[in-house]
Amino acid sequence: MYDYHCTTVKPGRLFGLGVGPGDPELITVKALRRLRESQVIAYYAGPHKHGNALTSVESWLRDDQQRLALIYPVTGRPPPPPFDYEATMRAFYDACAERVAEQLGAGRDVAALCEGDPLFYGSFMYLHDRLAERFETEVVPGVCSVVASASVLQTPLVYRDQTFLVLAGTLPEAELERLLAETQAAAIMKLGSNFEKVRRVLLRLGLAERARYVERATMADEQIRALAEVDPARVPYFSMILVPGERWRGESISDAD
Ligand SMILES: C[S@@+](CC[C@H](N)C(=O)[O-])C[C@H]1O[C@@H](n2cnc3c(N)ncnc32)[C@H](O)[C@@H]1O
């Protein structure tokens, strides 16, 4: 483990920056300021990929800012046992944290980029878990993909006292059905190869008509579709289904508004 106490250099600061859902203009003023102050830009990406978070801030970066690529060892559906996915990812995040710690220990501020918001299913959390007690850390919130998707759909998500549930499409089918039956509005994230399973559940619950599919919201290649029009074989990870709450038509629904 990198021992920054052995040096006399003042350690750098770790910034967990929410960079928004894809559109470079959907970064906050504060995240942009921290981004430009940082000597090192750490970002996650798949093998041979650029990474969505880096892509969305690239136009704001200077050449003298060092890029620190954290390349996932596995993306998509994990290989079957005996491959130990959890242990592999734990070791990967440990190694990422040490690479970032080395930079911080050398006195450099590190901006760790995260799509959407860093603390909402964000990959920054794994760095935060490992480094926030060792180094000065600041988290700057970002526009999360759920609200960005509602905006591109131009659909109100929840009215009045409606409940809103966020689910991962990776959950078992029966669990998805049980949870969705109890809510009035929902976002189902992490679709990819789980799309068909989620669509079946929504059809059974009579929610498929109201639901909308959004792919790569706010990015140049954004797609919006009714569920019936989606080809399950072409659903990427950067997509979600929103089930907006039913429109409020002016009736009294509770004592408290
Ligand atoms: C690991 S989570 C990251 C969430 C992110 N931290 C946030 O605040 O939105 C990844 C999931 O977010 C959703 N997602 C992220 N960006 C998206 C976008 N631009 N359009 C649609 N869904 C997106 C997808 O459901 C994807 O599977």
What is the pTM for the complete model shown? 0.92
CA of 218 to the centre of ligand 1 (A): 11
Residue 117 CB–ligand 1 contact under 6 Å: yes
Q: What is the DSSP letter of 107?
A: T
Cα–Cα dist 145/225, whole Å: 16
| Structure tokens that stand for 34 in this block | 């921290």
Tell me what pLDDT residue 7 has.
60
3-state secondary structure of 186: strand
Reported as a single tens digit per residue, the pLDDT across 160-219 is 999 999 999 999 999 999 999 999 999 999 999 999 999 999 999 999 999 999 999 999
Tell me what pLDDT residue 250 has.
86
> Domain 4-143, what fold?
Cobalt-precorrin-4 Transmethylase; domain 1 (3.40.1010)
What superfamily would CATH give domain 146-243? Tetrapyrrole methylase, C-terminal domain (3.30.950.10)
Question: Ligand 1, residues 44, 93, 145, 194: which to mutate, most atoms within 8 A of Cβ?
Answer: 145
Tell me what pLDDT residue 3 has.
57
Q: Long-range contact list for 219-226, CB < 8 A, 24+ apart?
A: 219/21, 219/22, 219/23, 219/52, 219/56, 222/22, 222/152, 224/152, 224/153
Q: How far apart are the first and last CA of the chain?
A: 53
Residue 194 CB–ligand 1 contact under 6 Å: no
Closest residue CA from atom 27 of ligand 1:
190
Question: Ligand 1, residues 193, 240, 242: which to mutate, most atoms within 8 A of Cβ?
Answer: 240
Residue spans per domain, the chain: 4-143, 146-243
Nearest to 70 by CA among 37, 103, 46, 39: 46
Tell me what pLDDT residue 14 has.
98
C-alpha distances in Å from residue 80, one per residue of 6, 94, 191, 249: 43, 23, 19, 50
Cα–Cα dist 64/40, whole Å: 9
Residue 245 CB–ligand 1 contact under 6 Å: no
Residues of the chain with pLDDT under 50: 256
